[in-house]
Amino acid sequence: MRLATWNVNSLRTRIGRVEAFLDRHDIDVLALQETKAREEQLPLMGLQARGYEIAAHGLNQWNGVALISRVGLEDVTAGFPDQPGFGEAAEVEARALGATCGGVRVWSLYVPNGRKPADPHYVYKLDWLARLRSAATKWLDVPTALVGDWNICPTDDDVFDVTQFKNSTHVTPAERAAFQAFLDGGWTEVTRPHAPGYTYWDYYRQRFERDRGLKIDFVLGSAPFAERVTGAFIDREERDPSVFDGAPSDHAPVVVDLAD
C-alpha cells in the first residue's frame, strides 16, 4: 500500500494537481487537509472516475479534511472522541476524519495552528492534542496511522532558523512536549528515517526557492503499522512553482510505502 498526506490548501483550487499526483505516484490512500469546502462543493468526478472513494468532512470555507482511497473506505468517522471545540460557541471544527482503508485505520488530521503563545487558540491547540492522544491510546493495537499537518516542529532541525521563531508557535516547549507524548505513548513517526527535509514553505519572500521551510507534516503509526513501513519521501516538486502549471500549495505531500 502507498499512503500519502498533503495539506492541499483548497481542494477546489488544486483538484487537477491532486488527480495528477495520484496518477504520477500510484497512490492508494491520500489524506488531505485544508480542503476548505463542504463535501457537496468538491469536484470529485475525476477522482471517482479513477476508481477512488472519497470521504470529506468540511463545515465551511475553513479547515476541512478528506480521505481518498482505492483500497476501501469503511467505518468513516468525522471527529475523534471528546474532540474539543473553539470559540464562544465551542464549535467542533472539521479537523479530523478517520476511515479504514485496506485494513489500515487512517486519520487525516489538521492540528490547530495556535496563532500565538498568548492566544486562546494556543490553549485550544494543546487541549486538542491532549484529547487526541487520549483517544488514540485505544487505537494502538491495530494498524493505525495519524497523518497530516501537525503544526509543530518537534526539533530545531525542523525549522530553517529557530531563532526567528523564539516568540512564535510551532517550536514552544509545550507544543514539542505534546508531540513527544505521542512518541512516548507508543506511536512512531515513520517518515523521518527515510524522508529528511522540510514539508512546508511559506509563500513569503521565495521561502521555497531559498529552502527556508518547516517540517510539520508527519505520519505517526501504531506498532502494527510502523513495522510494515518500507520507505517514505517528500514530493518537493509539488511545492515548486517552476515545475507544474498553477500555484502550488504551501505544503509538499509526504508519501509512505507499506509492505503487504
What is the per-residue pLDDT across 175-204, written as a single tens digit (0 to 9) for each? 999 999 999 999 999 999 999 999 999 998
Of 149, 151, 111, nearest to 132 (Cα)? 111
Residue 167 scores a pLDDT above 90: no
34 annotated to a ligand binding site:
yes
CA distance 98 to 74: 9
Decide if domain 2-258 falls under CATH 3.60.10.10.
yes
As a residue count, the chain comes to 260
Of 114, 184, 187, 175, nearest to 146 (Cα)? 187
Cell readout for 147 is 497523518
CB atoms closer than 10 angstroms to residue 101:
26
pLDDT of res. 144 = 98
DSSP H helices, the chain, are 11-25, 45-49, 120-136, 173-184, 223-226
7 annotated to a ligand binding site:
yes
Least confident of 23-37, 40-54, 122-136, 236-250: 236-250
pLDDT of res. 166 = 85
Of 71, 122, 117, 77, nearest to 95 (Cα)? 77
Selected catalytic residue, list 28, 149, 158, 217: 149
Cell readout for 194 is 527515510
- What percent of the chain is helix, strand and coil (3-state, nearest 5)? 30, 25, 45
Selected catalytic residue, list 28, 57, 110, 200: 110
106: helix, strand or coil:
strand
Q: What is the pLDDT confidence band of residue 205, given thresholds at 50, 70 and 90?
A: confident
Q: What is the pLDDT confidence band of residue 227, given thresholds at 50, 70 and 90?
A: very high
Cα–Cα distances in Å, from 211 out to 55, 102, 178, 199? 33, 36, 27, 10
Cell readout for 220 is 505517526
- pTM metric for this prediction: 0.97
Instruction: Assess whether 198 carries a catalytic annotation.
Output: no
Question: Is 107 or 89 the better-scoring residue by pLDDT?
Answer: 107
pLDDT of res. 2 = 98
251 annotated to a ligand binding site:
yes
156 annotated to a ligand binding site:
no
Cell readout for 238 is 509539488
pLDDT of res. 246 = 83
Cell readout for 168 is 512564535
List, for residues 13-52, the tens digit of each pLDDT value.
999 999 999 999 999 999 999 999 999 999 999 999 999 9
Residue 129 scores a pLDDT above 90: yes
Instruction: Assess whether 149 carries a catalytic annotation.
Output: yes
Residue 245 scores a pLDDT above 90: no
Average pLDDT, the chain: 97
Residue 89 sits at φ, ψ, to 5 deg, of -85, -5
N- to C-terminal Cα separation, the chain: 7
